[in-house]
A and B are shown apart, each in its own frame.
Chain A
Amino acid sequence: MTRSDSAPVVDIRGIYKEFEVDGSRTLALDGIDLAISPGEFVSLIGPSGCGKSTLLRLIGDLTGPTRGSIEVNGKPARQARSDRDYGMVFQAPVLFDWRTIEANVQLPLEIVGVGTDERRRRASEMIDLVELSEFGRHHPWQLSGGMQQRAAIARALVIQPKLLLMDEPFGALDEMTRERMNSELLRIWERTGTTVVFVTHSIPEAVFLSSRVVVMSARPGRLTHVIGIDLPRPRDESTRELDRYYELVTEVREALKAGRGPVTEESEMAAEFGARVSPEHTP
């Protein structure tokens, strides 16, 4: 699965990101360097407001860095976004109520300008992949939260991106659904060979899914530990019973504790605000 011999899919070099809140500047990301190889599954984990979502949005060029450079597929992040090199999945499914599941999944293809037949074919392929075949003609509100999120994953994958950016995609789901979605995501990842960058709060989720877990410290966000996850693949429910799994969960937890700096209310507000900056600035 891992083809780490080739050039990195994501190459982050010396990233600093500052936010200005009420005239005072807050450092959200402090000197991030990270390279992600093709086919990797990398989780970003850290305390809330550590800038992990901001880092993901920087990779997707949904916000710009104060300093530093980000390359995706060997080109600047902005170019990669224009070329539709990545798919994005948010915490909420962000499906459009006025479209059926099929039509929602087809949306990126419509924007790219793919013809109707091709659009239908590729969308139904992706809908099959996420096992929603029976629900293509339903509207999002007729589906459960987990099914909606699967539709969102199908939509992200339909343009066949080399890179999938996921921002706490299962954060709003209950624990049982989340574990099932984790297994399904791994199955999809193994079938497509897409590189995944996955932001999460959940230690078990990060360990179960990832080939590497990147641990970030509280503000300003820094990478403190990178933990390789050497659990055997393919992983399934029995993986969660392995001793090694528990060891790694403990290791990530210890790394998170070590990286937890003093938190002031002010910096917390700043970081929270920073993570929700309006997406409407000029492209």
Chain B
Amino acid sequence: MTSAGRADSGSPRRRQAGSLLRGLVGPALAFVGILAVIAIVWETAKLIGGVPWREVAGVPIDPPWNPPLRIGLFNDVNLPHVWEIVGAFFQPPSRRSEFTLGALLIDAAIFTWRGAAIGFVIGAVVGLLLAIVFVHSRLLERALVPYVIASQTVPIIALAPMVVLWIGRDWPSVALISAYLTFFPVTIAGIRGLASPDPRALELMRSYAAGRWTILRKVRLPAALPYLFTALKISATASVVGAIVAEAPTGIPGGLGRAIITFNQQYASGPQKLWATVIACAAVGILFFLLVRAAELLTLRGRQQPAT
């Protein structure tokens, strides 16, 4: 391959736009496809191994179909029909409620996501600062990294009530607990990424008598970005989990955690409400992940794509 041929192949900008589309549309289609497969498997399991459809208003209805294998796990309480779960979004969760479950869950999701996002930002900043300190000080790295690791072995469910006790039953507590789960991947990936430049790149900077700050800005941080984005994608979902886990045991009102507790208690009478909430939780995590992924594609465009 000639040098000119390599250099001329395709306009970089168009290729970037293409990869941006491929990066989002392709996975989205695959996601929807797999969702459809899950729904089909779900209903097929009920069709073959389920228990006959329930009574309607106390009157047993003649089942149009008797499943050949009656497995107790596949009944309408454990596996409500897909359409019942979808339908739950459009009905009020209780007779007293004037809003549909979907509207309430959107409100709850926004509340939870706000706590998670603030925690995510705090965690990312703290995580990166720790990584910067550790990369520049072997001593501090050796002394503190074991504590950083230990911090993640403490069950968050044990810490959450304490934090809420100190800070109060509102989103700042949620944000703090999210940050606690967020910073760890960023620190670990940051240490790796900031140390990733070729030793010759650092030697080159030394030949320009560049100081640590300049090397950090011009070499270490740009080199660490791909590592950091990998961590931030993990952190995005972890921060949502953190927020929900912070809300749930302490009953902080307004968020998805509280919704999970409430609908958990009503599970026997309306399992589809808890399932709908679970879907809402997953949606928040996925949307946050996609947000970070989009930021990654925008920030890293122009860099070498993995060999195609």
Contact = CB atoms under 8 A, between A and B. Distances in A.
Interface of A: 60, 62, 81-84, 86-88, 90, 92, 94, 96-98, 100, 107-108, 110-112, 134-135, 137-139, 141-144, 146-147, 159, 165, 276, 278-280, 283
Given A94-B201, A97-B303, A144 B7 contact: yes
Q: Which of A110, A112, A139, A279 has the most CB of B within 10 A?
A: A279
Given A92-B200, A143-B7, A81 B209 contact: yes
Contacts of B209: 81-84, 111, 283
Contacts of A82: 209
Contact of A96 (B201, B203, B208): B201
A142 B12 contact: yes
B10 to A, nearest CB: 9
A280 B215 CA distance: 12
Contacts of B18: none
Nearest to A281: B206
B304 A141 contact: yes
Contacts of A83: 209
Interface residues on B, range: 20 to 34
Contact of A139 (B12, B200, B206, B214): B12
Interface SS majority for chain A: loop
B218 A81 contact: no
B61 interface: no
Contacts of B204: 88, 90, 94
B168 interface: no
Contacts of A81: 206-207, 209
A92 B198 contact: yes
Contact of B206 (A87, A92, A159, A283): A283
Contacts of A87: 207
Contact of B198 (A94, A143, A280): A94
Contacts of B200: 90, 92, 94, 279
Contact of B303 (A138, A139, A146): A139
Interface in B7-23: 7, 9, 12
A110 B223 CA distance: 18
A51 B209 CA distance: 23
Minimum-distance CB pairs A-B, first 4: A144-B3, A279-B203, A141-B304, A88-B207
Contact of A147 (B3, B203, B206): B3
A100 to B, nearest CB: 8
A190 B223 CA distance: 36
A142 B10 CA distance: 10
B3 A143 contact: yes
A170 B214 CA distance: 29
B304 A97 contact: yes
A97 B222 CA distance: 9
B210 interface: yes
A139 B7 contact: no
A62 B207 contact: yes
Contacts of A107: 208, 218
A146 B208 CA distance: 23
Contacts of B3: 143-144, 146-147
24 contacts: A60-B207, A62-B203, A81-B207, A82-B209, A84-B208, A87-B207, A90-B203, A90-B204, A92-B200, A94-B198, A96-B222, A98-B302, A107-B218, A112-B208, A134-B7, A138-B12, A139-B304, A142-B9, A143-B6, A144-B6, A278-B199, A279-B200, A279-B202, A283-B209
